[in-house]
Chains A and B, each alone.
Chain A
Amino acid sequence: MQDSHTTAAHHPAFQHHFETMEQQRQASTLGMWLFLITEILFFGGMFTVYLVYRNWYFASFAAGSLTLDVTLGTFNTVVLIGSSLTMALAVHGAETGKRGMLVGFLILTILLGATFLGVKAVEYTHKFEEHHVPGPSFRFGSEELRHFHEEATMLRSTQIHGVELGEVQLFFSLYFAMTGMHALHMIIGIGVLSVLVWKARHGRYSPEYFAPVEYAGLYWHFVDIVWIFLFPLLYLITRHVGVHP
Chain B
Amino acid sequence: MSTAVTTAESIHRRRHYLNADYGIRSWLLTTDHKRIALLYLFSITFFFALGGLFAVLIRLELLTPAGDMMTSDTYNKVFTMHGIMMVFFFLIPSVPATLGNFLIPMMIGARDLAFPKLNLASWYLFMVGGMFAMYSVVTGGIDTGWTFYTPFSTTYSNTKVIPAALGILIAGFSSIFTGLNFIVTVHRMRAPGLTWFRLPLFVWANYAASLIMVLGTPVLAITIVLVFLERAFHIGIFDPRLGGDPILFQHLFWFYSHPAVYIMILPSMGVMSELISAFSRKRIFGYTFVAFSSVAIAVFGFLVWGHHMFVSGQSVYAAMVFSILSYLVAIPSAVKVFNWTATLYKGSVSYQTPMLYAFGFLGLFTIGGLTGLFLAALGVDVHVTDTYFVVAHFHYIMVGGVIMGYLGGLHFWWPKITGRLYPEGWAKLSALVIFLGFNLTFFPQFVLGYLGMPRRYHAYPEEFQVLNVMSSAGASILAVGYLLPLFYLLWSMRYGPEAGPNPFDARGLEWQMASPPPTHNFEQVPIVSEEAYAYHTAQEVPVAG
Contact = CB atoms under 8 A, between A and B. Distances in A.
A210 to B, nearest CB: 18
Given A17-B110, A23-B188, A42-B218, A49 B237 contact: yes
Nearest to B229: A177
Given A37-B214, A134-B236, A166 B242 contact: yes
Contact of B221 (A15, A16, A42, A135): A42
Contacts, number: 125
Contact of A42 (B111, B222, B527): B222
A167 B243 contact: yes
B241 A17 contact: no
B115 interface: yes
Interface string B174-201: 0010001101110111001000000000
Majority SS of interface residues in chain A? helix
Interface in A13-58: 15-19, 23, 26-28, 30-31, 34-35, 37-39, 41-46, 48-49, 52-53, 57
Contact of A38 (B110, B116, B176, B525): B176
Contacts of A52: 245, 248
Contact of A49 (B192, B234, B248): B248
Given A42-B219, A42-B221, A134 B184 contact: no
A53 B251 CA distance: 14
Contact of A31 (B184, B226, B233, B243): B184
B139 interface: no
A176 B248 CA distance: 19
B379 interface: no
Contact of A174 (B217, B219, B237, B524): B237
A174 B236 CA distance: 9
Contacts of B243: 53, 57, 60, 164, 166-167, 169-170
A44 B219 contact: yes
A2 interface: yes
A46 B222 contact: yes
Contact of A48 (B214, B252, B520): B252
Nearest to A52: B248
Interface string A54-67: 00010010000000
B111 A16 contact: yes
B225 interface: yes
B284 to A, nearest CB: 28
Nearest to B187: A30
A34 B520 contact: no
A28 B244 CA distance: 41
A177 B475 CA distance: 45
B112 A17 contact: yes
A181 interface: yes
B236 A166 contact: yes
A17 to B, nearest CB: 4
A1 interface: yes
Given A30-B188, A34-B183, A135-B234, A39 B525 contact: no
24 contacts: A18-B189, A23-B189, A27-B114, A34-B183, A34-B214, A37-B215, A38-B176, A38-B180, A38-B214, A41-B215, A44-B222, A45-B221, A45-B226, A49-B226, A53-B243, A135-B234, A164-B243, A169-B243, A170-B236, A170-B237, A170-B244, A173-B229, A173-B237, A177-B225
Interface of B: 110-116, 118, 176, 180-181, 183-185, 187-189, 192, 214-219, 221-223, 225-226, 229, 233-237, 241-245, 248, 252, 520, 524-525, 527
Given A1-B527, A44-B218, A166-B241, 18 more contacts: A23-B188, A27-B115, A27-B189, A31-B181, A34-B183, A34-B214, A37-B215, A38-B180, A38-B217, A38-B218, A41-B215, A41-B216, A45-B226, A134-B242, A166-B242, A170-B237, A173-B236, A174-B237
